[in-house]
Structure 1
């Protein structure tokens, strides 16, 4: 089991089947364009957990600074392949992000989770010791 940073277009493309389980609305082309743009413009980083040279889980995050959280890391995406869940892979990736954040001088890690994802909420609160601190609100128009 090994965590590796995904840095190239080929790396990003190789993670699409897993990420698509979470971001089902994205085509492979849209996913790739968005990830590469976010890496270039928004300091987005991706890491994958490999088991026997196969990606089983993926996370994407970015360092941020806000008045509310101060210096922190926002986990944008975290997904484990549906046939690989409950094996500790999500915990391994979040722990990796937390260590990365601490090593870079960031004081916390935050994320949002869809309201209907009760199993994920239990995981974050009970297994990973995260606090539920707010709701996230969104208003959309046009295309993204």
Structure 2
């Protein structure tokens, strides 16, 4: 088992089947374009958890600074392949981000989770000791 950064187009593309289980509103081309743009403009990092050469889980995150949290890492995406869930893969990736954040001088790790994802909420609160601190609101703007 190994965690590797996905930097090249073919690596990013290889993670799509796993990421698509979380971000199923994106097609493969849109996903690749958004990852590349986020990496270029927003310091987004994408890592895969590999068993052999097979990606079983992915995590995307970016360092941020806000007045509310100070210096922190925002976890944008975390998903394990459906047939590899509840095996500790999410815990391994999130723990990796905790270590990365600490080594890079960040003080916190934060994330949001969809209201319907109750199993994920239990994982974050009970297994990973995250605390529920806010609601996230969004508004779709007309183009």
Match runs of 1:43-54 below 5 Å? 43-54=43-54
- CA deviation vs aligned residue, 1:112-132 (integer Å, no higher than 9, x gap): 000010000000000000000
* 1:72 matched residue in structure 2: 72
CA RMSD of aligned residues (A): 0.7
| Alignment gaps of 5+ in structure 2 | none
Counterpart-to-counterpart distance in 2, 1:65 and 1:130: 19
* 1:40 matched residue in structure 2: 40
With structure 2 as the length reference, what TM-score do the two structures score? 0.98
Counterpart-to-counterpart distance in 2, 1:31 and 1:142: 21
Q: CA deviation at 1:52?
A: 1.9
> Across the two proteins, how many residue pairs are aligned to each other?
143
| Alignment gaps of 5+ in structure 1 | none
* 2:15 matched residue in structure 1: 15
* 1:91 matched residue in structure 2: 91
Counterpart-to-counterpart distance in 1, 2:9 and 2:112: 26
With structure 1 as the length reference, what TM-score do the two structures score? 0.98
